[in-house]
């Protein structure tokens, strides 16, 4: 049973492993009377922002900059294209992140989010006090002075050293 829910040592991945006939979902994950999201082929995709257009000299007439501004206000998410980061580096980063999530829970908890902070391994709490069904790992890489001194140096070397992204 999961009645002794401890948010500082809990993982959604571990919750899935616990699924058994007598399993009960921890209360912080239960949402009563919530409508399931409705996604269909008519649901619009987030806008695409072209980095090369953002870098144009004339900021006053930069339509892509205006598009970015309104996208951030209206959507909060977008796809960035023509950013110059090689697909091989992105694939390597994706692989390293997947490897991090495959670590045993006790290893991932070495990077857990400290109280009052946003960086580290953990889960996301919604405004209603319920947790999202996702494990997260958040780090700030730039600017350098915003990196967490207790977290960043402890990361696995494969996640700490991405010179093209830093």
Per-residue pLDDT of the chain (166 residues; tens, 9 = 90+): 444 556 556 677 777 776 666 677 777 777 777 666 666 666 678 899 999 998 887 666 788 989 999 999 998 889 999 999 899 988 988 898 888 888 888 888 888 888 888 888 888 777 788 878 788 888 887 787 887 777 777 777 777 655 444 3
> Range of 76's domain?
44-84
Note the pTM of the prediction, 2 decimals: 0.64
**Is there a domain that residue 111 lies in?**
yes
Pairing assessment for the beta strands 48-50 and 79-81 based on DSSP bridges: parallel
152 lies in a domain?
yes
Pairing of strands 120-125, 48-50: unpaired
Q: 150-157, long-range: CB within 8 Å, 24+ apart, which pairs?
A: 150/114, 151/111, 151/119, 151/120, 154/110, 154/111, 155/111, 156/96, 156/99, 156/100
The verdict on 89 and 159 lying in the same domain is yes
102 and 151 belong to one structural domain: yes
């Amino acid at each position: 049973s999961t009645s002794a829910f401890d948010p500082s040592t809990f993982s959604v991945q571990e919750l899935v492993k616990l699924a058994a006939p007598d399993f009960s979902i921890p209360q912080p994950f239960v949402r009563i009377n919530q409508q399931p999201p409705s996604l269909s082929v008519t649901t619009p995709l987030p806008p695409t922002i072209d980095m090369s257009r953002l870098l144009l000299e004339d900021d006053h007439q930069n339509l892509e900059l205006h598009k970015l501004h309104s996208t951030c206000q209206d959507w909060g998410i977008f796809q960035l294209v023509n950013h110059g980061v090689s697909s091989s580096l992105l694939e390597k980063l994706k692989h390293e992140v997947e490897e991090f999530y495959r670590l045993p829970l006790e290893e991932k908890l070495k990077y857990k989010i400290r109280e009052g902070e946003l960086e580290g391994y953990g889960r996301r709490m919604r405004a209603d006090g319920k947790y999202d069904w996702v494990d997260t790992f958040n780090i700030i890489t730039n600017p350098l002075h915003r990196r967490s001194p207790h977290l960043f140096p402890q990361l696995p070397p494969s996640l700490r050293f991405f010179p093209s992204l830093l």
